[in-house]
Amino acid sequence: MVFITVNVAAQTLSLMDDDTLLGEYPVSTSAYGIGNRDGSFKTPLGHHRICEKIGDAMPADEVFIARRPQGQLAELKQSDEPLPEDIITARILRLQGQEPGINQGEGIDSYQRYIYIHGTADEQRISQPVSHGCVRMLNKDIIELFDKVDVNTDVWIEA
């Protein structure tokens, strides 16, 4: 069975098939550490599942705001479009917590907190904890991962 593990201490994401490593990628988790509280901007731990895959066939530099494609980054910058501080690009794997009281439920729900694995316009800082709670990846890596996983793939985020 294919699953994902994210190791916050190592800033890595591993794609596994049972005991076989299919791929390992550098990531960036939260600049604020680990935690589950709404508004904390921390990366939540525990068992999650991919509940949505967003961005199939979009360009690597496609910008997403509220999970909707907005255009390519260079074009948006040239047009002086207002962009969020944490620019999400390429693909989004939306996560849903599977553990009530840990990453599921009022005030701590990963789905309601919009926790994703996603591409970033800030690729030079991958491998450093700089996100706002999500798991950031290089755009080429999230595109590769996106094509290898399905909705309902298990994701384990560990300290």
pLDDT in tens, 16-46: 999 999 999 999 999 999 999 999 999 999 9
Select from 110, 115, 140 the least CA-distant residue to 126. Answer: 140
Q: What is the CATH number of domain 2-158?
A: 2.40.440.10
Dihedral of alpha carbons 40, 16, 3, 122, sign: positive
Give the model's pLDDT for residue 63: 92
Q: Please report which confidence band the pLDDT of residue 116 belongs to, taking 50, 70 and 90 as the band edges.
A: very high
Cα–Cα–Cα angle for 40, 115, 54, nearest 5°?
155
150: DSSP letter? -
Q: Where are the domains of the chain?
A: 2-158
Give the model's pLDDT for residue 82: 73
Mean pLDDT check: name the lowest of 71-80, 92-101, 137-146.
Answer: 71-80
Give the model's pLDDT for residue 104: 97
**What pTM value is reported for the model?**
0.94
